[in-house]
Structure 1
Amino acid sequence: MVEAADLPVPEAYAQQVARDANILLAKASAYLKAEDIPLLEAAFRFSAECHQTQFRQSGEPYITHPLAVADILADHHLDTQALMAAFLHDTMEDTGVTKLELSDRFGKHVAELVDGLSKLEKLEFQSKEEAQAENFRKMLMAMARDVRVILVKLADRLHNMRTLDAVREDKQKRIAAETLEIYAPIANRIGLHAIYQELEDWGFRYLHPKRYEVLNKALKSARGNRREVVGKILDAIKQKLADAKINATVYGREKHLASIHKKMHEKHLSFSEVLDIYGFRVIVDDVSTCYLALGALHGLYKPRPGAFKDYIAIPKPNGYQSLHTALTGPYGTPIEVQIRTHDMHKVAQAGVASHWMYKSGDESFGDVQQKTHQWLQSLLEIQSMSGDSVEFLEHIKVDLFPGEVYVFTPKGKILTLPQGATTVDFAYAVHSDVGNRCIAARINYDLMPLRTVLKTGDQVEIITATTARPNPNWLNFVVTGKARSHIRHFLKTMRYEEAVHLGERLLAQAARALMNQSTDLPEEAWDRYLRENAPSKREEILADIGLGKRLGLVVAQRLLTLAGLFAVGEAKSGPILIRGTEGVAVQFARCCNPIPGDPIIGLIKQGQGLVIHTHDCPQVSGRGYKLDPDKLLEVEWDVPAGKLFDVQIKVLAMHERGVLAQIAAAISEAAANIENVRMDNEADRYTEISFTVQVENRQHLAKVMQSLRSLESVVRINRLKS
């Protein structure tokens, strides 16, 4: 029992705080063991003592916030440790209490929960976005270890949203946007439907206050106007189910404001056009009765084609199960109906928290836990692939999209993917190795491109090859966080290895330039250099040289000095040979599109490695050349036979039938490939056609252009360099 006189809060608030605390303890005692209640009381008193000098912006003592958070969790029957963590969740962050102190007082598990909820205030970040992303990463990683972390955090955010009136308007909008972007989708993803809807409504209210006010007023008006129609439909549904001898609980439900606003925005509708504001929920005893009830309702009102969804046979990723159908009621009124069992209803309302709310052996509860566990494990996998916290958060946001498609493997297993997912997303969902090696796909037994967007019901078979590897272009169309993180990780690893090889060549060239001869850099010099640049490793130094983050000449000079070999020399080193097979560490500039035979020069560009330009390219022959000559390197072509390079040509031809076929045939006869073509009508008589063709070298390009000039229909042809 908490007494007002014992609380370290102002007298004006003591009675109310004590009353709220005792109501919460009584609520908890209804489902917890008697010996757990003193632990809760101890955590509450410790939190009140820690926060005794702190007040919320509303003027209330700060302890009212953790008390409200614990009360929300008690409504979901969370266990003792979670309720204690709710009381203590701000003590580490705001009062200087250490994790060790919490562990000694309340146990290791409670301390871990509180630590997972605490922000990383003591670390330095480059920007507020980076700090926010790192805090989310820490919280989500803690959630992957213990899902109670996110349950406490969602309750914390929900109470903050309920009391957001007290903060500045700019802060209201920032917190509301964050809630809609991160917290509401997470609540939806783990099945906390009631919390998800309330977070969405509060977020909408503070992010778009005028829209909220107008819609709220319109909804209240519509509620009165449609009450009679809704009542008639409800009575008709109850009567129809009773006639079919189906025992069911039926009630109407109103769509929440954020959902109505989202539908208006996405479908460009006015409020008067959003007719399905009201829906109906039918709760029955077992699964077979769900389908009987569906048949009865389809006999009462006509179903709308294509609007039936069976989430019982194929549950949503968060474990949600129901039959959804849309009917046309009296006066043409659209009706949405959800049909589910009592256990399904519990899962739909509480999601992963149903584990604590309903102690039951029903397999539907275990299924929710399993699906949540699988999602949490995928977070760990994405984290291991992501380069930094901002990238990790970007991947997570993608996976929180609410829409889903359900596709089948050749063996009949169902995979759930977000709307817009492609066959590459499917391949990575099967396994990361399948994604890395995929080269083609069969969708419903037909060969289709890898960028094909999947639809619910598609059967997908991925074709792989051991020599295949991810294509950077895949990042333009994949939508899942898992696919995106694996592709980026592979490309970064590949880029790093290629940068190391390039760095070795650049360093050797710089050493030759300084010594007037080829020389090996002694291991002793490397050891001393790495000690000077700790904690860098040799591969990191070489990669930095290859990517332009360090100058090879500076590193070579220091290494030779440490080895006692350095002497000033005037001779230049030999050129670096460009073979066209170096990978992403050597790039060909888009501004001039060099091909073998063009005089070229290399430009070291930070973060990109060695970029090859033509000698006459404005990027290197203009002002940049004078400002930074040390970053220009002598390079020469050494391309193996058969290697092809993209080059763009523009053809002005007579506007007549079959001209494109004639030009394509001429290019083919010159043994060149057409990679891309674009046509623009310049005038009635002429057509301008741009080609990207693949040629071996400058001589090959000349042969292609000569072949085109022999055509009577070709008026003018020239090479495009940008």
Structure 2
Amino acid sequence: MTAVLPTPSPAKPSKSAPPVPSKGTTAAANAAAASFAALTDALDYLGPAGIEQVRQAYRFADEAHLGQLRNSGEPYITHPIAVAAQCAVWKLDAQALMAALLHDALEDCGVTKSELMDRFGLQVAELVDGLTKLDKLEFNTREENQAESFRKMLLAMARDVRVILIKLADRTHNMRTMSDMPKNKWARIASETLDIYAPIAHRLGLNQTYRELQDLSFRHLHPWRHAILSKAVAKARSRRRDLVQKVQADVDAAFAKLGMRIRIAGREKTLFSIYRKMDEKHLSFAQVTDIYGFRIIVPGITDCYTALGVLHQMYKPVPGKFKDHIAIAKVNGYQSLHTTLVGPSGINIEFQMRTEDMHMVAESGVAAHWLYKASDHDGDPSERLGTKWLQSLLDIQNETRDAAEFWDHVKVDLFPDAVYVFTPKSQIMALPRGATVVDFAYAIHSNIGDRTVAGKINGEQVPLRTELKNGDVIEVITAPVSSPNPAWLGFVRTGRARSKIRHYLKTLALTESEELGEKLLTQALRAEGLEKLPETRDPAFPGIWEKLLRFTGNKTRSELMTDIGLGKRIASMVAKRLTVLMTEGGEKRDALLLTRERYTSHEKLSQGAVLLDGSENASVKYAPCCRPIPGDAIVGYLGRGEGLVVHTADCGTAKRLQHKDAERFIAVDWADEPVRAFETGLVVTVTNRKGVLARVAAELASSEVDITHVDMGDEGPADTADLRFLVSVQDANHLDSALRHLARTPTVLRAARIKPAG
């Protein structure tokens, strides 16, 4: 089956009338291409009722596009017909073919969605509407707009995969006819096709479409390279014609002798895949040895393995070049046996063995759902063909409202160089190459991922960041009290895992910010002479929170507290307004409390200070400019949207902020027993000798100081050198002790904490 793909999309051809065709033959050809007869032969699988529905849609579209021409001078209706023709090759249903014919009617012809609904039904109208929205997407170079466009497209195809199938048909036809468009549009449209549409076609198993889109993009992006490579392949083809014919004759004879019915077809590597291999592996054309191959179509699955045995008896296999994609199908549903053999004259030739059904899926992927759904008795074929990925887009969307972040999660799944691993109960799971134990845990269930504490691969305990390999058996160990670690974001590979972890951390950050906001507002209210916040439904103050929320512009009390915790609202200003509302309701201010809180609020040991012990996670940040540790005098700054940022009192950045934004500073202090270590910087000046770094590191280790980063600078050979360390210490006393030990080391000339510039 040769793909006949079509497309309108961002590359919408101009409908301004070019010169009217003057030759009678051209006019006749255009008329034939624009008639319904061009589709009729491909629609016999629909039955008379389906064909009549498609005919009605054609008449409506033909009338709507009357007088519109493409850049080539053809009637515009030839484009929707070509799109529908490709959809017919995939045996899509009548509704999809009707939508293919009508896909430009909403945008270009003034037809309304309700009109389409009345004429052709809700489903057809929804499909056309989905396609029209995609056509309006402009894939600009600006990241935000592009990401939002991707999000809309991927969600549309998740809701109904026919939308993206028609879209891919539409895009392919536009790529085929792109030579009629202005050349200044070629690069943008071809790049977009290569980066977006070809990977989606591949992810859905539409391999024929995938290859064609790649080659058409390559031709228009790099015309000169395409032409040179095309000539080189043509020469190689003519040189090796005898060899290919000999191999085909030998294979035919071997299977005829065995009495096995087969269908054999030659396969040539596409120009783009040859170019990419040459570019990525820095090869010359002569070094690309797997340009030619054969597909052998056999009656049944067992015959695939029999055929493999026959071929291995004929030619020697290349070690490491056998892949069984039948036992373990690819994530997009592809199944075949692959083997590379050393043919005549030492030329490597790849063979692929598959059944007719496998061949159908290999070429048409998810579209094969319509090709054989009537005869499928093993459940939902669209699921079996890997379209769970489409549903996973909706899962990611539920947790990711930011378009750029959504695309960041999804794009990694568009290039699924997969590994196949097993659960302890021998269930096969496909994950992108580079996936880790954490990715595997989230692929099973988000609750498993969230509670993961350790993992085993093939019975041996391994770090969670360990990359999985084909055939690994993975066991995940969980604990009820465990939660996702922000460090996991540094190594997870799947969009699902990344979105789940980020969603959890965002929820956690908001919860902690809400708690901090409540604490800050209570403290500010005490400074106004009132002991505590009123309850949400306090009968003593009816409607007080509604009035306060109208003042602040927040929707809920929880949102207000979160905003205060994130520094988007000043606690003291909110407290003043709340005080007015409470005193109007009859509450009396406590003079003693007012005096005590107001006049001790900036002293070092203020009763109202926010106490810090290192357990605050996302709601409190320790400034990297001064890296405060317990024992330092500190100040707290409520950055706008950043939460509470803690600086040392002598930090130059903090002093500048205090000068500009004094009302955003609050009293903070260290708790008596911090629960973790804190990072700070050291500079150690040493005599530049062999092994000096090891000696300094050993001295720090003996002081129970953890080194998290070392910078030795890039100066040339010198008598002395400055070693800069980031270290974790318990408090200032621990740091002083470590510095004293360092100072006694013979090779150390000076050791000091790095202080921020004033």
Q: Is the 8 A contact 2:454 2:477 kept in 1?
A: yes
| CA distance in structure 2 between the aligned counterparts of 1:559 and 1:95, rounded to whole angstroms | 58
How far apart are 1:254 and its partner, in Å? 0.9
Deviation at 1:321, TM superposition (A): 0.7
1:489-541 residue CA offsets vs partner (Å, 9 max, x unmatched): 1111111111111222333344445x355553666342024346667322223
Write the distance in 2 (CA, Å) between the matches of 1:204 and 1:124: 21
| CA displacement, residues 114-166 of structure 1 (integer Å, 9 cap, x when unaligned) | 22223179999999644443343333333223221211111111112122234
> Aligned residue for 1:133?
147
- Pair 1:620–1:167, CA change in 2 (3 A): farther
When residues 675 and 228 of structure 1 are mapped into structure 2, their CA distance, relative to the original with a 3 A threshold, is same
Alignment pair present for 1:589 and 2:623: yes
Deviations 1:588-607 (CA, angstroms, capped at 9, x unpaired): 11121110111222222233
SS at match of 1:305: strand
Local SS of the residue matching 2:543: helix
The corresponding residue for 1:161 is 175
Q: In structure 1, which of residues 219, 223, 227 is the aligned counterpart of residue 241 of structure 2?
A: 227
What is the rounded CA distance, in whole Å, between the counterparts of 2:517 and 2:298 in structure 1?
A: 69
Q: CA deviation at 1:324?
A: 0.6
Matched to 1:280, the amino acid is F
Q: Which residue of structure 2 aligns with residue 275 of structure 1?
A: 289
Q: CA deviation at 1:355?
A: 2.5
Q: SS in structure 1 opposite 2:615?
A: coil
- Decide whether the 8 Å contact of 2:365 with 2:385 is kept in 1: no
- SS of equivalent to 1:712: coil
- Percent sequence identity over matched residues? 50
Q: Which residue of 2 aligns with 1:633?
A: 666
1:542 aligns with 2:558: no
Aligned mate of 2:447, from 421, 433, 439? 433
Deviates more, 1:30-39 or 1:114-123: 114-123
Q: Distance in 1 between matches of 2:403 and 2:155?
A: 11
Match of 1:633, as an amino acid? I
Q: What's the counterpart of residue 727 of structure 2?
A: 693
TM-aligned CA distance change 1:257 to 1:306, over 3 Å:
same
Query: Which residues of 2 match residues 674-689 of structure 1 at below 5 A?
Result: 674-675=707-708
- How does 1:32-111 map onto structure 2 within 5 Å? 32-52=46-66, 54-111=68-125
Q: 1:530 aligns with which of 528, 531, 549?
A: 549
Matched, 1:22 2:16: no
Indicate if the aligned counterparts of 2:626 and 2:755 stay in contact, CA closer than 8 A: yes
In the alignment, which of 342, 346, 351 is matched to residue 328 of structure 1?
Answer: 342
Q: Which one of 611, 621, 626 corresponds to residue 577 of structure 1?
A: 611
Q: Is the 8 A contact 2:218 2:226 kept in 1?
A: yes
Judge conservation of contact 1:603–1:631 (CA < 8 Å) in 2. Answer: yes
Distance 1:663 1:226, change over 3 A: same
| Preserved contact between residue 276 and residue 336 of structure 1 (Cα < 8 Å) | yes
For 1:613, give the aligned amino acid: H
Q: Taking structure 1 as reference, are residues 104 and 392 closer, same or farther at Cα in structure 2, changes over 3 Å only?
A: same
> Within 2, Cα distance between the matches of 1:309 and 1:523?
73
Q: Are residue 205 (structure 1) and residue 205 (structure 2) matched?
A: no
Shift of the 262–556 alpha-carbon distance from structure 1 to 2, 3 Å rule, reads farther
Q: Deviations over 1:318-355 (max 9, x none)?
A: 11110111122222212111111122111111112222
Alignment of 1:183-202 (within 5 A): 183-202=197-216
The more displaced of 693-702 and 169-178 is 169-178
Question: Could you say if the C-alpha distance between residues 639 and 61 of structure 1 is closer, same or farther in structure 2, counting changes exceeding 3 Å?
Answer: farther
Distance in 1 (CA, whole Å) between partners of 2:444 and 2:102 is 41
Q: Does 1:708 align with 2:742?
A: yes
Cross-structure match for 2:416 = 402
Distance 1:92 1:564 in 2: 61
Change (3 A) 1:308 1:600: same
Task: Classify the secondary structure of the residue corresponding to 1:30.
Answer: helix
When residues 687 and 200 of structure 1 are mapped into structure 2, their CA distance, relative to the original with a 3 A threshold, is: same
Instruction: Tell whether 2:377 aligns with 1:353.
Output: no
Q: Classify the secondary structure of the residue corresponding to 1:38.
A: helix
Please give the per-residue CA displacement for 1:212-231, whole angstroms capped at 9, x wherever unaligned.
Answer: 23322322232222222222
Q: In 2, Cα distance between the equivalents of 1:255 and 1:284? A: 22
Q: Give the one of 533, 538, 555 matched to 1:520.
A: 533
Q: Which amino acid aligns with 1:634?
A: A
**Cα contact 1:24–1:74 (8 A) shared by 2:** no
Cα RMSD (Å): 3.3
- Structure 2 residue identity aligned to 1:193: N
Q: Compute the displacement of 1:714 (Å).
A: 3.4
State whether residues 158 and 394 of structure 2, in contact with CA within 8 Å, keep that contact through their aligned partners in structure 1.
yes
Deviations 1:272-325 (A, max 9, x none): 221211111111111122112112212222211111100011011111110111
Q: What is the DSSP-based 3-state SS (H/G/I as helix, E as strand, rest coil) of the residue aligned with 2:321? A: coil
Map of 2:299 onto structure 1:
285
Residue 613 of structure 1 pairs with residue 627 of structure 2: no
Q: How far off its partner does 1:479 sit? A: 1.4
Residues in 2 aligned to 1:46 and 1:524: alpha-carbon distance in whole angstroms: 60
Distance of 1:345 and 1:219 partners within structure 2: 25
The letter of the residue matching 1:626 is H
Are 1:27 and 1:74, in contact at CA under 8 Å, matched by a contact in 2?
no
CA contact (8 A) 1:279 1:337 kept: yes
**For 1:587 and 1:687, how far apart are their aligned partners in 2?**
32
327 and 501 in structure 1: CA distance in 2 versus 1, 3 angstrom threshold? same
Distance 1:641 1:19, change over 3 A: closer
Separation in 2, partners of 1:538, 1:96: 47
Q: Find 1:375's aligned residue among 362, 379, 389.
A: 389
Tell me if the contact between 1:347 and 1:365 (Cα under 8 Å) persists in the aligned partners: no
* Cα 1:658/1:139, change in 2 over 3 Å: closer
Separation in 2 of the partners of 1:512 and 1:208? 71
Once the two structures are TM-superposed, the CA of residue 89 in structure 1 deviates from its matched residue by 1.6
> Judging changes above 3 Å, is the alpha-carbon distance between structure 1 residues 18 and 231 closer, same or farther for their aligned structure 2 residues?
closer
Separation in 1, partners of 2:241, 2:227 = 21
The residue matched to 1:304 in structure 2 has which SS? strand
Does 2:255 correspond to 1:241?
yes
Deviation at 1:555, TM superposition (A): 3.5
- Identify unmatched segments of 5+ residues in structure 1: 1-8
SS at the partner of 1:97?
coil
2:681 — aligned with what? 648
Residue 178 (1) aligns with residue 192 (2): yes
- Displacement, 1:173? 2.2
Gaps of 5+ in 2: 1-16, 22-26, 535-540, 602-607
Residue by residue over 1:605-626, the C-alpha shift from the partner in whole angstroms, topping out at 9 and shown as x without a partner, is: 233211111123232234x443
For 2:609 and 2:250, how far apart are their aligned partners in 1? Answer: 87
Report deviation, 1:401. 0.8
Change in 2 beyond 3 A, CA 1:721/1:430: farther
Q: Which residue type is aligned with residue 630 of structure 1?
A: E
Task: Give, in angstroms, the shift of residue 690 of structure 1.
Answer: 4.7
Distance 1:585 1:31, change over 3 A: same
For the residue of structure 1 that corresponds to 2:36, the secondary structure is helix
SS at match of 1:306: strand
CA offset digits 1:380-421 (Å, max 9, x no partner): 211112122222222221111131111111111111111111
8 Å CA contact 2:366–2:385 kept in 1: the answer is no
Alpha-carbon distance in structure 2 between the residues aligned to 1:564 and 1:517 = 10
Cα pair distance change 1:36/1:439, threshold 3 Å: same
Task: Determine helix, strand or coil for the equivalent of 1:626.
Answer: helix
